[in-house]
C-alpha cells in the first residue's frame, strides 16, 4: 500500500512539473515590440511599434466573446485563408493555397460599446501585402500605428474580479499622475489555458495621450 501511494505521489509530481514547464514553453512565441519609457512597480508606460492585427468582433459576455473570438482567429492562422499571389498572372493560374501563420501572444480583448474586439498580433515578418486573406469574412486585418500605452501586469486567472481589481489600480495611478487616457481598456492574455495561475502573464492596457 505504501509503494502505491509513493507511486501516485511521484506521478502527481511529474504532472505538476510538466504543467509548470508547459506554460513558459508554449508561451515562447513572438510578442508585440515596445519600449518601456517609465516603470513604477508593475505599471509601465510603453511605446509600441506599429503592428498588424487580425481582429473579430463578438457579442456576449467577456469570457464567451474571447473564447469564440479566439477560435475564429486560430482558424485563420492555422490555414483557413488564401495566400496572396506572388508571381505573374497566367492564363491558367493555379488555385491559391492557404498558409499556416505562426502563433503569437497575447490574445487581446477590448470593448467598443456592446461589442468585444478580439485580436491577435500578426508576426512582424508579414506586411499587409504578404499576409494571406482570411477565408472567413468576419476576420479583418488592420494596421495599427505606433501608440503609447500604460500597462499593468499581473498573474492569476483572467477572471472578471482579477481583471477589474488591477484595472482599478491602473486607472487610479493614471488619475493620480494626471495622465490622460483615450479609449477603453484593453485586456491581454499571454498563456495557454493549462498554465498554472501563478505562472500566467495577464495585462490591462489603456492608450494614453502623449
pLDDT for the residue 147: 97
Same-domain pairing of 210 and 152: yes
Cα–Cα–Cα angle for 165, 62, 43, nearest 5°? 35
Both 119 and 35 in one domain: the answer is no
Residues 154 and 192 in one domain: yes
**Do residues 180 and 15 lie in contact, with contact meaning Cβ atoms separated by under 8 Å?**
no
pLDDT in tens, 129-181: 999 999 999 999 999 999 999 999 999 999 999 999 999 999 999 999 999 99
C-alpha cell at 194: 493549462
Q: Do residues 180 and 203 both lie within one domain?
A: yes
Joined together, the cell numbers standing for residue 207 give 492608450
pLDDT score recorded for residue 85:
72
Q: Residue 121: is it exposed, middle or buried by C-beta count within 10 angstroms (0-12/13-18/19+)?
A: buried
Q: Identify the three-state secondary structure at position 126.
A: coil
- Find the radius of gyration of the CA atoms of the chain: 20
Q: Assign residue 113 the CATH number of its domain.
A: 3.20.80.10
Contact 118, 109 (CB under 8 A): yes
User: Is it the case that residue 4 has pLDDT exceeding 90?
Assistant: no
Q: CATH code at 42?
A: 3.30.200
How does pLDDT run across 180-190, given as a tens digit for each residue? Answer: 999 999 999 99
- Residue 86, pLDDT score: 63
In a domain, 89, yes or no: no
Predicted confidence at residue 38, as pLDDT, reads: 96
Nearest to 40 by CA among 124, 136, 153, 135: 153
As a whole number of angstroms, the distance between CA 78 and CA 74 comes to 6
Any domain includes 170: yes
What is the residue range of 78's domain?
A: 51-84+96-143
Into how many domains does the chain fold? 2
Would 68 be classed as within a structural domain?
A: yes
Amino acid at each position: 500500500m505504501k509503494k502505491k501511494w509513493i507511486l501516485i505521489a511521484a506521478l502527481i509530481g511529474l504532472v505538476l512539473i510538466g504543467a509548470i514547464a508547459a506554460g513558459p514553453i508554449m508561451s515562447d512565441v513572438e510578442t508585440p515590440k515596445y519600449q518601456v519609457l517609465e516603470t513604477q512597480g508593475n505599471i509601465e508606460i510603453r511605446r509600441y511599434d506599429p503592428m498588424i492585427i487580425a481582429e473579430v468582433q463578438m457579442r456576449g459576455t467577456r469570457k464567451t466573446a474571447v473564447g469564440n473570438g479566439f477560435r475564429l482567429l486560430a482558424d485563420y492562422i492555422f490555414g483557413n485563408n488564401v495566400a496572396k499571389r506572388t508571381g505573374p498572372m497566367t492564363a491558367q493560374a493555379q488555385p491559391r493555397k492557404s498558409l499556416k501563420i505562426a502563433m503569437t501572444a497575447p490574445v487581446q480583448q477590448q470593448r467598443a460599446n456592446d461589442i468585444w474586439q478580439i485580436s491577435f498580433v500578426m508576426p512582424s515578418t508579414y506586411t499587409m501585402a504578404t499576409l494571406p486573406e482570411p477565408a472567413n469574412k468576419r476576420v479583418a486585418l488592420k494596421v495599427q500605428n505606433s501608440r503609447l500605452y500604460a500597462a499593468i501586469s499581473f498573474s492569476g486567472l483572467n477572471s472578471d474580479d482579477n481583471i477589474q481589481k488591477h484595472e482599478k489600480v491602473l486607472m487610479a495611478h493614471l488619475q493620480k499622475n494626471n495622465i490622460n487616457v483615450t479609449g477603453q481598456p484593453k485586456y491581454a492574455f499571454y498563456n495557454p489555458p493549462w498554465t498554472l495561475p501563478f505562472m500566467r502573464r495577464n495585462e490591462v492596457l489603456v492608450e494614453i495621450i502623449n
